[in-house]
Structure 1
Amino acid sequence: MQLPTRALLAVVLQVALVAAQDSNYTAGLAAALNGAGLTLLAGILGSAPPALISALQQGNHTVFAPSNAALTGINPADPSLNISNILAYHVTGAPIDTGTLNETDSVVRTALTGAPTVLLPGNQTQVLVVNKASNGTVNVKNAGRTIPVSNNATYQNLQVFVIGRVLEIPGNLSSVVGATTDLSALAGAVTAALPNLIPTLEATRGLTLFAPVNSAINAAAGTIGQANETVLTNVLLNHVINGTAVYSPLITNGGNITSAGGQPLTFTTNSTGVFVTSGSSTAKVVQANVLTSNGVVHLIDNVLLNTNNNPDAAASAASSIAASEASNTGTPTGAVTPTSSGNAAIGAFEFANNVKVFSAVIAGVVLGASFL
């Protein structure tokens, strides 16, 4: 009986040691934040879960620290707020090397994970989009805003960037599309189709949508206004990549990936911008990296009028994505790579059936349906 008692004592002592280390670390971090004038964040730190404090001590991280002005009026005890998730979304999984940043978006992982807040493939953590302006200012892009870093400091293994807003955690597809001004026509369609369609799209682990802006949908009215449901379904499927989140750093010149319609989406980059081609249609990406809880939306200036569909190719691509990305679940330090789990990509046939309602609604948009 003596050995189990000693083993139990060792475990108790180890737990006590870890708790003491966490307490000391938290106290030191709070003191550093107070010294940097981030008194409200230092106070909120007391609401951080022990797991996050322990994780902060492992490796090096960047913390986007909201200023006092940004946190004014936020009560960490408010049951409508999930302070744990909010704090986790302000911490990156690895430090940001500001020396390598430029005006092109970089995408980095955060500490935020877990359904239903995050439904990315491979149980990956949610991401942040950062860049550096021509004047050298580091920015984080969040919910349609560009938020500059106003100051920076360090504490042990942490790089602290002070920002003037609390970062918004990406919402589900319908809320993100609805909040994007230039997708108002699409937002109307999504809202109308929400009861029957949106849950399927939003539950998909890994989704990339190339979303035509209002002017693009209006310009396509004369071309696809008379199209039948099958043609409209095929067109929509060729705007979607199923089972993976393809952020802008992954859209490289000459790259290609198979759409949910089984057609190649090819990418071209030059001095005038980034372009995506499907069939004989090409569109320019006018706004990249609009984040959702389960993927990403890229706004494009043209409807990709590819009416072809290859269910076998779509199913094969979905299966390949799931198989190849299941093992790629590490936390990248720079541009992210697409990741997935074995069950991330729903079958192409099922996906096609679920977007038929959406296609019909888009037809209504194009034809000027009154529900908008």
Structure 2
Amino acid sequence: MKSAFLSAALLVAAPSAWAQSQNLTFLTGLLTTLQSANLTSLISATSTFNSSGVGQGILGDLSSGSPFVLFAPSNEAFASAPSNVTSDSGRLTDVLAYHIVSGNFSNSATTYPNVTLGRTFLNDSEVVQLEGNKAQVVAWAIRADGHIHVLNQRNDSTVVNTTSFGNITINIVDHVLIPPESLQQTVPTENATTSLTQLNTFLGTVNVPFFNSTSNSSGSISAFNLLNSGLHGFTFFAPNDSAIFASQSNLTALASNTTALNNLFYNHLINDTTVYSPQLVGQNFTSAGGEPLTFSINATGQYVTSGNTTALITQPDVLLSNGVLHVIDRVLINTGFNSGAASSALASATSAAAQSTTESQPIGFSATASLSSGVSGSGASASGSNSAAVGRFAGPGKAQMVALGATAVGVLMGALITVF
């Protein structure tokens, strides 16, 4: 009786103009499917979702006939969810938008460390700062236990059952999914085998110089703060603690050479482009320092090479609100810098960013189709995800924009970020 009441309430609550334009037969059928799966808490949350313009638009898209994946939290998942998720209608809308993925994933069944990624409907700029105002992604894979796990979650979230309704695949999960957060919020949750504590310390010692034209003064911003809140779209290859310890002598030798230390940082960074692990396969990218980053894959894993160093990607796709980390087992000891190549790569990324695309399949699907063949890196420029004018950083040698925190905007000129 309660379920039937919730279904009716959801449909009746819809604004009349919206309700008249939607396929109510479809929505009724969807709600019936959710009821049959005993997802009454989700139905109740959907009523709140439908009270917002964002929610109404997404529900309209679901009835379009295009394929979607819905990660549907069980009643127990909602019962254990943080109170700030279930009691705040705005937060709940964002969280539910993160549970809906556009595209057909019927042929995608990756086993970790291979990862499936899909673009969600979450694009609230308060919680997502990817390039080009792109929506956030969600990642999942089959673990050793044979079950699908949603990755990057503080509480291990497992698909416990799957059903479908029409064009929608419904994966029932045992925890409410929480969208990616900032670097500062994410790194402390990493487990001991992929600890990035030493990386945090290292990034705090690397300072990118800037000039404040308002106060006519020079200063610097730490590399940590740059990644944490200064960039809108980036890819960073993050050495784990073991890698930092193993390279301590090299890092100590560079400590007094600011230019070399900065270049080392730049050569772990792909600027203005969020590149997920399936998109790395068989590709070359150019670092923010203008140095080539090449990628290969074989039976032992996926590798990145810069200069004379090759590192294993031990944990791919650590999702952040403004980019992505790939954890690696070695520091990429490369202090080279090529201004022209860095500028060219940034221009390519910016051009690609201006192209709006609708993703209807797993991110990097065409690249990962031949994962088992062991292809090696070859011939592609750094393009990838969309980009906006703000949240962009260029290594020394080209003036571009970078958002520092929520309000300041900087331009890198020569070796300085100029902040207005």
Tell me the TM-score normalized by structure 2: 0.73
Query: Whole-Å Cα distance in 2 between the matches of residues 161 and 86 of structure 1?
Result: 16
Unaligned stretches of 5+ residues in structure 2 = 1-14, 50-54, 208-219, 366-383, 403-420
Match of 1:183 in 2: 196
- Secondary structure of the residue aligned to 1:323 is helix
Indicate how the Cα distance of structure 1 residues 23 and 100 shifts in structure 2: closer, same or farther if over 3 A, else same. Answer: closer
Please name the residue that 2:239 is paired with. Answer: 212
Deviation at 1:335, TM superposition (A): 2.4
Instruction: Work out the CA distance in 1 between the residues paired with 2:277 and 2:253.
Output: 34
In structure 1, what is the equivalent of residue 57 of structure 2? 51
Deviations 1:216-242 (A, max 9, x none): 111111122021211111111110000
- Partner SS for 1:83: helix
Match of 2:119 among 102, 109, 127: 109
Q: 1:61 aligns with which of 47, 55, 68?
A: 68
Is 1:36–2:37 an aligned residue pair?
Answer: yes
- Give 1:233's match in structure 2, choosing from 262, 279, 294: 262
In structure 1, the residue matched to 2:141 is 131
Partner of 2:317: 289
Aligned ranges for residues 285-364 of structure 1 at < 5 Å? Answer: 285-336=313-364, 338-341=384-387, 343=389, 345-349=392-396
Deviations 1:72-129 (A, max 9, x none): 05556623860111000000012321x3313121211111113131122222211111
Offset from partner CA, 1:123-149 (integer Å, 9 cap, x none): 221111122357763332233665331
- Contact kept, 8 Å, 2:304 with 2:310, in 1: the verdict is yes
Q: Which runs of 5+ in 1 are unaligned?
A: 1-14, 355-372
The CA distance in 1 between the partners of 2:160 and 2:86, in whole Å, is 28
TM-superposed deviation, 1:57: 1.7
Q: After the TM superposition, which of the residue ranges 26-35 and 172-181 deviates more from structure 2?
A: 26-35
Once the two structures are aligned, what percentage of the paired residues are identical? Answer: 32
**How far does residue 196 in structure 1 lie from its aligned partner after superposition?**
4.0
**Cα shift at 1:173:** 2.1
Over 3 Å counting, the alpha-carbon distance change for 1:127 and 1:67 in structure 2 is same
Determine if contact 1:216/1:303 at 8 Å carries over to the other structure: yes
2:206–2:262 Cα contact (<8 Å) kept: no
Matched to 1:138, the amino acid is I
The residue type equivalent to 1:66 in the other structure is P
Cα distance in 2 for partners of 1:229, 1:331 equals 41
Residues 152 and 162, structure 1, Cα contact 8 Å, conserved in 2: yes
Query: How many residues matched?
Result: 338
Cα deviations by residue, 1:333-358 (Å, 9 ceiling, x for unpaired): 1224821235263332379999xxxx
Amino acid at match of 1:339: S
Contact 2:273 2:387 in 1 (8 A): no
Aligned residue type for 1:296: V
Could you say if the C-alpha distance between residues 188 and 143 of structure 1 is closer, same or farther in structure 2, counting changes exceeding 3 Å? farther
